[in-house]
Amino acid sequence: MTDASTSTPSVIERTRHIAAGAPIVGAHFLGRTAVLVLGEEALLLVPEEGEERRVAVHGGGILSAASDGARVVTGGDDGKVVASGANGDIEILATDEKQRWIDRVATGPDGAVAWSAGKTAHVRTGKGEVRTLEVPSSVGGLAFAPKGLRLAIAHYNGVTLWFPNAKAAPERFEWRGSHHEVNFSPDGKFLLTAMQEPMLHGWRLHDRKDMRMSGYSARVRSLSWTADGGWLATSGAEQLILWPFSSKDGPMGKTPRQLAAFGVRVEVVACHPKQEVIAIGYEDGLVLLVRLDDGAEILAKKPDKVPVSALAWDGAGTLLAWGAEDGKAGTISLA
Amino acid sequence: MSESTDKIPVTVLTGYLGAGKTTLLNRILSEPHGKKYAVIVNEFGEIGIDNELIVNADEEVFEMNNGCICCTVRGDLIRIIEGLMRRKGKFDAIIVETTGLADPAPVAQTFFVDENVGKRTKLDAVVTVADAKWLKERLKDAPEAKNQIAFADVILINKTDLVTDAELREIEARIRGINPYAKLHRTERANIALSEVLGRNAFDLDRILDIEPEFLHADGHDHDHHHGHDHKHDHSHGGLKHYHDEDMQSLSLSTDKPLNPDKFFPWVQDLVAKDGPSILRCKGILSFKDDPERFVIQGVHMILDGDHQRPWKDDEKRSSRLVFIGRKLPEEKIRNGFASCVA
C-alpha cells in the first residue's frame, strides 16, 4: 500500500462468490439475507450464514421486483404478483385474469403493493383490498410516495398521482415523451422520472415546476437517494451523476456532481442506507464504493467485461450484494 | 459486425385488414421448422397455434422528445422486447404482427432508436401481405395500405386464386410503381417457403448486394435485368403496363464517377433531416474517391445507418447507386444534390 496511485483500497477479499446460474436482474435484502432476482422463474436466497436456496416464484420471465424490507414482490410474464419472504415462503398476491404480463411492481407503506399490466395499475392495500386505475398508456414505472397511500404512475406524456383510498380524481403531471422509472424524493417534495430519452424529468409537487436533468449518454435505469435525501444518484453516464436536492429548489439551475469517471458507463447505483457512500456498478463489471465528502474510492469487484445488473445494501449497511448479467453474484461483508 | 450474429432477428408482418397476415403467421408457426418464435400480436385469440410465447401488444406509438416529428417508436415494443429478453434462449426469432392500419416505420425505428433493443435484437425484414383482389382499391382509399407496400422488403400478393392473370399483372405493376425493390411473391392462402419471409437480413448492411429494381417476371417475357447501370426503373418492360403512383414514388440515383465523402455525408444528412418525413426508406452502395472499399447505407425516415462493407473487387464496376422510396419526393432537389457530391 505504498503507492496509492496504483492501489485503490479493496474489499474484494471479503466477497462470498455465488453462481446464480441465470442472469440477475435485481437484488434486495430481507434482513441479513440477500435476495437475487433471476431473469426467469426464481429468486436465489443467500442467507448471511448457510446455504443458498432457489425459490421458484414465476412460471416464466420475471419482469419487475421491489422490496419493502419484509418481502420481495415480483411481477412475471405469467400474470402473477408474488411476495416472497426470507424463509422462502411465497404468497401469490394477484393473478391477472387474462394472464397479461405484470410489467411493474412497487411496494408501499403498511404492506401496500402496486403492480401494472399494460395500461392498468392496481394497488393492494395492507388489508388486502385491491383498487384499479386505468391510465392513458402503458405504465412505465410505479412508486409510492414516502407518506400516505399515494401512488405515482409513469406513462407516456407524464405521471398520474393517485390516492387509491380517496374519491378525488387522480392528478396528472404532464411532460411530453415516454416516462419510465418514477421516484419521489424522500421528503416527498419532488417527483422524478427517467425518460425514454437519456434524461430525467422532475416536478416540484407544490408548484408543479418542471425540472429537466439531461446530459446522459444512455437511458437512466437506476436511481437511488442518499441516506439523508440530499442527493439523487443516477446511472446512464460514464461517471456517477449526483443531483443536489438539499435546497428547496432541488437541482434547478444547478449542475450535478460527477464522480468516479472511468470512461465506462454506469449501469446501476445503490446508496448506502446510513452514510454518504454509493455503490456503483459499471458496464464492464467493475463495482466501486465512493464516499461523497472526499470522492475516495474502494474497489468491490474487478471488471470482467460483464455488465453489473444489480446492487443492494442491507438495512444496516454492512452487507453489499452485486449481481451480473451472466449470473455471477457476490455478497461482501463490510462489518 | 460479428456481434450482430447473436442478436435475435425480428420480422415485422404488415398488411391491410383481411389481406392474410394471420394466415401467414399461423403457417409460420405450424410448419415443422424446429424453430421457436416469440410472437407479438395486436390481438389475442386469432392465432390457432399453441405457442407459449405470444404477447399482446398495444401498438403505442411514441414520439421521441427530440423535436423530430417522424422519430416515432413503438413504446410497447420496447417494453415487450425487454421482457422477452428475460427468456433469451427460449426462442430463435421474434415476429411482430401489426394491425392492418399500422405504419411500419415506428416499428422499424424502434430497433434503431432504443439502445437496449438494438443491442439485443436486429430488424430482419418488413414483410407485407397484400390482397390480390382488393389492394388496387386500398391503394386509392387507404394511405396505410400504400405505406405498407412502400415500406416492405418482401411483399406477398395473396389470394391470387381470386383474380385473373391480367388482374394479377396489373396489381403487380401498381406495386412496382410504388416499390420496385421489394421481393414480390404470388401466394394463395399465404402459402410460401418460410425462407422467403424469414432470415432475409434486409436491414443488414453486409447483405446489401445490389439494389437493382426487381422487374416484373411476366411469363414469356424473360429479359436481362443486368444491363447498363444508367437505365431508369421508370419505364415499362416487356410490354407490361407501368403505373406511376401520384403520391408514393421511388427515386434511383446513380453515377460512375466517384463521390466525395466530405460532400456526400453532409448532403445526405441534411436531406434526411429536412425531408425525412417524406422519405420512407433509402438504400445505397457508394464508391468514394480514393477509397478501396464499398460503402453501404440504409435508412428509415431520418435514421441513417452506414458502414464500409468490403473491398471493391477487381472486376467490379465502381459505381454509386442510391435509391429512395417516399411520398412526394422532391426529385429535382435530390438529383441535383446527389450530382453535386461527385468528387
CB distance B83–A77 less than 8 Å? yes
Which pLDDT band holds residue B5 (cuts at 50, 70, 90)? low
- What are the cell numbers at A100? 397479461
pLDDT for A148 equals 87
CB distance A197–B56 less than 8 Å? no
Could you tell me which CATH number the domain at B248-339 has? 3.30.1220.10
The amino acid at residue B64 is M
- Assess: ipTM above 0.85: yes
CB distance A197–B64 less than 8 Å? yes
Among B44, B75, B86, beta carbon nearest to A39: B86
Among B60, B66, B87, beta carbon nearest to A61: B87
Between B47 and A163, whose confidence is greater? A163
Which pLDDT band holds residue B65 (cuts at 50, 70, 90)? low
3-state DSSP call for residue A275? coil
Nearest-Cα distance to chain B for A295, in Å, is: 30
The amino acid at residue B39 is V
Integer Cα distance of B144 and B128 in angstroms: 12
Which single residue is written with the C-alpha cell 460479428?
A: B2
**A112, A106 in Cβ contact below 8 A?**
no
Interface size A-B, in CB pairs within 8 Å, comes to 69
Chain A neighbors of B80, CB-CB under 8 A: 101
Chain B neighbors of A195, CB-CB under 8 A: 65
- What are the cell numbers at B29? 408457426
Under an 8 Å CB criterion, which residues of B touch A? 44, 52, 55-56, 58, 60, 62-66, 73, 75-76, 78-80, 83-84, 86-88, 114-116
Which pLDDT band holds residue B233 (cuts at 50, 70, 90)? very low
pLDDT for B223 equals 38
Distance (Å) of CA B209 to CA B184, B201, B295, B312: 18, 11, 11, 12
pLDDT for A4 equals 39
Among B86, B94, B116, B120, the strongest candidate for a mutation testing the A interface, having the largest count of A CBs within 10 A, is B86
The chain B residue lying nearest A76, using CA atoms, is B83
Q: Does A41 contact chain B (CB < 8 Å)?
A: no
3-state DSSP call for residue A45? strand
Nearest-Cα distance to chain B for A40, in Å, is: 6
Each residue of A219-239: pLDDT tens digit?
A: 999 999 999 999 999 999 999
Which pLDDT band holds residue B222 (cuts at 50, 70, 90)? very low
Please, what are the domains in chain A?
215-335 (2.130.10.10)
Q: How many Cβ atoms sit within 10 Å of the Cβ of residue A186? A: 16
Q: Which of A66, A68, A5 is nearest to A37 (CA)?
A: A66
> Could you tell me the residue ranges of all domains in chain B?
2-207, 248-339
pLDDT for B211 equals 73
The chain A residue lying nearest B115, using CA atoms, is A218
pLDDT per residue of chain A (335 residues) written in tens, 0 to 9: 333 345 789 999 999 999 999 999 999 999 999 999 999 999 999 999 999 999 999 999 999 999 999 999 999 999 999 999 999 999 999 999 988 999 999 999 999 999 999 999 999 999 999 999 999 999 999 999 999 899 999 999 999 999 999 988 999 999 999 999 999 999 999 999 999 999 999 999 999 999 999 999 999 999 999 999 999 999 999 999 999 999 999 999 999 999 999 999 999 999 999 999 999 999 999 999 999 999 999 999 999 999 999 999 999 999 999 999 999 999 999 98
Each residue of B287-342: pLDDT tens digit?
A: 999 999 999 999 999 999 999 999 999 999 999 999 999 999 999 999 999 999 99
Integer Cα distance of A231 and A226 in angstroms: 5
The architecture of the domain spanning B2-207 is 3-Layer(aba) Sandwich (3.40)
Mean pLDDT of B94-100: 92
Sheet holding A277-282, edge to edge: A266-271, A277-282, A287-291, A297-301
**B149, B175 in Cβ contact below 8 A?**
yes
What phi and psi, each to the nearest 5 degrees, are found at residue A264?
Answer: -125, 140
For chain A, how long is the longest CA-to-CA vector? 66
Q: Which of B267, B285, B265 is nearest to B275 (CA)?
A: B267
Chain A neighbors of B73, CB-CB under 8 A: 196
